[in-house]
Structure 1
Amino acid sequence: MERLPKVGIPVLALIIITIIVLAKSAVTIGSGEAGVLYKTFGGGVVTDGPPLGEGFHVIAPWNKVYIYEVRQQEIFEPMPVLSSNGLEIKIEASAWYQPIYADLGKLHQEKGENYLGRVIQPAIRSAARSVVGRYTPEQLYSSKRDAIQDEIFTETKKILDKQYIQLNEVLVRDVTLPPTIKDAIERKLKQEQEALEYEFRLEKAEKEAERQRIEAEGKAAANTILSASLTDKILQEKGIQATLELAQSPNAKIVVVGSGDNGLPLILNNN
């Protein structure tokens, strides 16, 4: 076996060292990610500039890059909380969040890679307990869910805005009450619905009675006016007009003139 020439050993060692240095120096940051540069001999975490963006980067081999996802992410958080009267309620909430891109270095330096467990989860839990504690189980179950969702978002955002984290939305997906409380609320809501329905029927009946009364009064007033306007001469004229129309009819008939009490003709059908 031939030995390597003496000059070949240093060259081979140099090539190996170069490959190692390049491997240590090359960093590829994927889509939706950003990198925080840590300078071992240059003051640690770089916080006074933008993070490293997507793509290929070359750094000093003694430095290090910490890669963070900067797209919107979701955390699902089930938690027990207490209502205003001390009953335990279980709510399930989701939060949409993402690191503030320009402050990624500060986030890494002050909170670290586990900022989700150190900052976001405690903030959501604290806000949820504070908000739910203002409401009764009845309000939580029926009409206040949207208000609770908005208030949890507002209070959580106040906390996270100071922690280099952007909160986009909080969604309350479910509110679970103790079975006995839930059954009692449902019975109460059913009774209230029945009471409203009964009031509606009463109001409808009262309006119908009022309509009939007004209609009867209108008919009575019309009859009074009509009776006052019908004199004997008008009635006689109407009778004569009707007699003439019947006399002109093609049907066979017998007309007796002047036989009525008021002197109007009588028409008798000969059939």
Structure 2
Amino acid sequence: MRIIQVVSLVAVVAIVFFTAGFYVAYNMQQVSVKELGRLLEEREGEVSSLNQQLAEARNRANELSAEVDRLSKLVEELERAEKKAREELAKAEQQLNMLNANLDEKTEAVQKLEEKINSLREIVEKLKNDRVLLNWIRNDIPNERDEAMRFWNDTRVLAARSDSSLAASVDEIRANLGIYFDWLESFPEDVTFEQSPFIDMCNWILQNPESPYNLRSFCQWVFSQPAGVGLYGEAINNFIDAVYLVVMSHIDRLSDVIEEEEG
């Protein structure tokens, strides 16, 4: 009987512990289910947010892909434009080189033309002075010492403008002027006629074989000039010849420059 009671007590205790364990386990399971539900809702929200972000990312990726395509096309267009620009730049550089070469030729031609114009101006100025000089030396040479010296001094100024070498020719005339006029001024004072007609008469007497001997002798004496007197007239003739040579050289130079201009 006592054993039955013990067994019954053990059974009751076991039932009580089982019931208590079941209740505790049930309560714990309810708490876990609620927590899992809450976590599930949170995860679903996160998944929904991630799906939304993924959709936005895909849309953005599509937009970026379209933008990349547009930029790729733009790059291709820019590359074609760059290639075309390089080709045009090469052509422009070639044309520029041709223009520079042409400009150099034109500049050289202009410089040569300016040199020719300056040469022409210089020669024309020389010829203008040559004309003045030629007209000047056509004047009668004075028969008085002072007037003759002034004449040749003025002649020297004009001659030097045409050519500096002509000044030396005039200096030669002036150097012999004194000897000539010393002889000219020694003409006999008791002669009642002027020198020039007398000289002309002596020339006629000397050229006429039938003229009286005494007159011929007198004229020969008159014409027996001292040494150096004839150098005055010789220097004048040399100067006139030199003037003509200078004028001809200026005319030839003008012709040469004009021919170069035409060439």
Structure 2 length as normaliser, TM-score? 0.28
**Structure with a larger share of its residues in helix:** 2
Higher relative contact order (CA 8 A, sep 6+): 2
